């Protein structure tokens, strides 16, 4: 009888020890799993190409919101605009643009060759020697007039797919060719008008957001944009061929008027000339008012 009781007591102690240790072991295992999950979630995957910065979905959302707000406040911050463009290009828009290139024989060649647009690759002195109406001469004349260099475009960093990253880089480096094609200057009115054109043609969210910068214009500029340049941008951006598929390096000696006709792009009214006439009119009115006051 005594032996039986001792065995029962020993079994009870062993069972209670197991019961008491099991929750501890379970909690310890869960804590370790959570710690491993936390560390793994902070660890980024390796970059997919030189300069690539992999971001999580939350990081991309934070980058998009922050850069979008700040670029609206200061449209001159090209770095913020570039970051917003990359953060909002996925998961759909940059793939749509890539597919547009893949559907075009010229676009496929661009993706295969992956040319870069720089002051060296384009040979700017040669472009200045071309006849006036050529694409190359129109481009270099626009660069010289606006004081712009093709070497100022920042590299793509936040798009994960390497081919799509090149598509964004290509769009970025072709931006000045779109300026030259349309004749729009780099003043805020011209930039917003061109972004509206690009949005209608490429659907990149960054170009659409940039159109809201029209609200920061002066009253006369806003009126002119609403009545002249926004309708022009929407009409031409929608009807034109995909401008991302232009192999600009092969079009430099071509007549720019023929290229515009082929693409379906009508140049808008000369914005610089309109602004010049507006300044002259204000000056004339000011001088007339001063003479009237003197009399």
Q: Are 42 and 65 a contacting pair, CB within 8 Å?
A: no
Residue 267 is classified by DSSP as P
3-state SS assignment for residue 105: helix
Q: How many other CB atoms are found less than 10 A from the CB of residue 61?
A: 13
Q: Binding residue per annotation — 179?
A: yes
Question: In the beta sheet, which residues pair with residue 272?
Answer: none
8 Å CB contact between 159 and 165: yes
Tell the residue number behind the tokens 């069972």, with chain if given: 15
Residue 5 CA, distance from chain mean position: 81
The Cα-based distances of 181 to 144, 145, 189, 203 in angstroms read: 15, 14, 16, 19
Q: Is 52 annotated as a binding residue?
A: no
Q: With b meaning 16 or more CB within 10 Å and e meaning fewer, what string describes 140-154?
A: bebbeebebebeebe
Cβ contact 81:206 at 8 Å: yes
Q: Which structure tokens are listed for 156?
A: 């793509």
CB 246 within 8 A of CB 174: yes
- The whole-angstrom separation of Cα 71 and Cα 177 is 23
Give dist(CA 160, CA 260) in Å, integer. Answer: 34
Which pair of structure tokens corresponds to residue 260?
């515009």
Distance between first and last Cα of the chain: 133
Q: Residue positions in the annotated binding site for Zn(2+)?
A: 175-176, 179, 191
Binding annotation: 175-176, 179, 191
């Amino acid at each position: 009888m005594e032996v039986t009781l001792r065995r029962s007591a020993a079994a009870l102690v062993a069972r209670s020890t197991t019961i008491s240790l099991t929750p501890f072991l379970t909690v310890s295992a869960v804590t370790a799993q959570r710690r491993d999950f936390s560390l793994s979630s902070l660890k980024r995957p390796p970059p997919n190409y030189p300069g690539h910065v992999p971001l999580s979905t939350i990081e991309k959302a934070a980058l998009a919101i922050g850069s979008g707000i700040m670029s609206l406040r200061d449209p001159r911050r090209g770095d913020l605009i570039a970051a917003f463009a990359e953060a909002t290009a996925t998961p759909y828009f940059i793939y749509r643009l890539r597919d547009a290139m893949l559907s075009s024989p010229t676009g496929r060649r661009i993706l295969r060759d992956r040319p870069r647009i720089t002051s060296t690759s384009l040979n700017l002195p040669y472009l200045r020697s071309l006849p006036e109406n050529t694409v190359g001469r129109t481009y270099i004349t626009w660069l010289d007039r606006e004081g712009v260099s093709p070497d100022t475009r920042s590299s793509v960093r936040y798009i994960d797919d390497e081919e799509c990253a090149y598509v964004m880089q290509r769009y970025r480096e072709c931006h000045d060719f779109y300026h030259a094609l349309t004749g729009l200057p780099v003043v805020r009115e011209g930039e917003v008008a061109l972004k509206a054109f690009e949005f209608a043609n490429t659907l990149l969210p960054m170009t659409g957001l940039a159109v809201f910068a029209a609200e920061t214009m002066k009253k006369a500029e806003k009126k002119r944009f609403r009545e002249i340049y926004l309708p022009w941008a929407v009409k031409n951006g929608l009807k034109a061929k995909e401008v991302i598929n232009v192999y600009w390096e092969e079009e430099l000696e071509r007549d720019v008027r023929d290229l515009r006709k082929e693409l379906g792009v009508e140049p808008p009214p000369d914005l610089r000339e309109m602004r010049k006439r507006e300044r002259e009119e204000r000056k004339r009115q000011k001088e007339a008012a001063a003479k009237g006051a003197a009399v």
